[in-house]
Copies of this chain bind each other. A is one copy, B any other.
């Protein structure tokens, strides 16, 4: 009889339920592509209600309340880790690899924090450890970097890799909503978690960027080392000014190898020119733009979250591992051997163009004084507009785009300006990425 590949699922929330559905409803195409049937044999979750849903779909699946029982089972070849978090998931994945089970995980925090050790353990145990679903949902960024572009020297990866942030900024842009209202609407529409902190502060994108930097540059980077800013400070006025200058504000993650050899890694909202492919990526879509030395520009977009897209990525990994297993050969080398601790450029040393918005007294001489101070710091202005504030009589807003400048110099200059009587509120700075 033809061999069967058996899967044990740990964690049956939204994504887990999607995996159950895909493996059942698409069993035909999956068996055809994998070369053998793939059978879900066991599911573990602490919530009995979730297990009941699985039972209703297929009573032959073993249901467990303890995920750590899954790696112990003889009827499981591949363990799918969807419990999330770092400590518990780390223990679970180690238990699976120690039991010589292959692992598929969608856990970006785990891989960003502990990836190096886990990949070494997988290799030592002759097991595959796949993780396409950990970065950008349905977008096959992992596979493209490590397989399609395997021969190329990657110069930069720029992406919109947090769908919640993009959804919020998009609705602020499209409906003129304030940040708090857009966040609330995103939560009601199911595009933001009850606790959206990790998404809107950029932490989630930082986890994903650490994984991308590892794949693209062989860099061993912890998320805490990546300069990260969230989207909370973006004001509807910034979106409006950006639009008038011909830009869209998107939540970006940037990884770039500089000529010096150092890595420029950062997560922050950014002004993107209207003609850029990333500018068209609206709502809950994710996108990744890769620039390779030989391949040139490569652009991928798709849904970054949700049961169907993410479960499709998990299932793609399961099928790949099944093919490896059926061929009798797991552990195809994947990672670039780490180039060790690579220098990450301090954000103060970044050379960038900037969008600045000053709140000033609406009186003569302010603009001259302000531009004089910028000029003294070597910062030159490319475009500028001044508006009287509608809400606040006697004050005005000055929005501008600068030419390239060193961020440390810009920050120093803004600090000095904000310490004078010229500005009435802290100046807003948003980087331009082009």
> Interface of A with B (CB < 8 Å)?
18, 21-23, 26, 29-30, 32-35, 132, 138-140, 143-144, 146-153, 218, 277, 280, 292-303, 306, 308-309, 311-313, 315-316, 318-320, 323-324, 326-334, 336-337
Contacts and interface: CB of A to CB of B under 8 A. Distances in A.
Nearest to A297: B302
Nearest to A308: B294
Given A312-B292, A320-B147, A333 B35 contact: yes
A116 to B, nearest CB: 15
A423 B299 CA distance: 45
B151 A30 contact: yes
Given A308-B294, A327-B329, A132 B152 contact: no
A296 B308 contact: yes
Contact of A150 (B30, B298, B311): B30
A151 B319 contact: yes
Contacts of A30: 150-151
A218 to B, nearest CB: 8
Shortest 5 CB-CB contacts between residues of A and residues of B: A329-B329, A151-B315, A327-B329, A140-B148, A35-B333
Contacts of A302: 295-299
Given A323-B333, A329-B328, A333-B323, A152 B29 contact: yes
A153 B324 contact: no
A303 B299 contact: no
A249 B385 CA distance: 37
Nearest to A30: B151
Given A323-B333, A324-B329, A329-B327, A151 B296 contact: no
Nearest to A311: B294
Most buried by B among A139, A293, A303, A329: A329
B151 A22 contact: yes
B277 A152 contact: no
Given A33-B146, A277-B280, A26 B152 contact: yes
B153 A29 contact: yes
Given A295-B302, A302-B295, A150 B332 contact: no
B336 A327 contact: no
A117 B352 CA distance: 55
Contact of A138 (B280, B298, B316): B298
Nearest to A148: B140
B329 A298 contact: no
Nearest to A154: B29
A318 B147 CA distance: 10
B301 A299 contact: yes
Given A30-B150, A151-B316, 9 more contacts: A138-B298, A148-B312, A150-B315, A150-B320, A152-B315, A293-B308, A326-B333, A327-B330, A327-B331
Contacts of A26: 151-153, 293-294
Contacts of A300: 298-300
Contacts of A23: 151
8 contacts: A32-B218, A33-B334, A150-B319, A151-B311, A280-B280, A295-B303, A299-B302, A323-B332
Given A151-B316, A294-B309, A327-B332, A143 B143 contact: yes
A29 B151 contact: yes
Contacts of A301: 277, 298-299
A296 B292 contact: no
A288 to B, nearest CB: 10
A324 B144 CA distance: 17
A147 B334 CA distance: 15
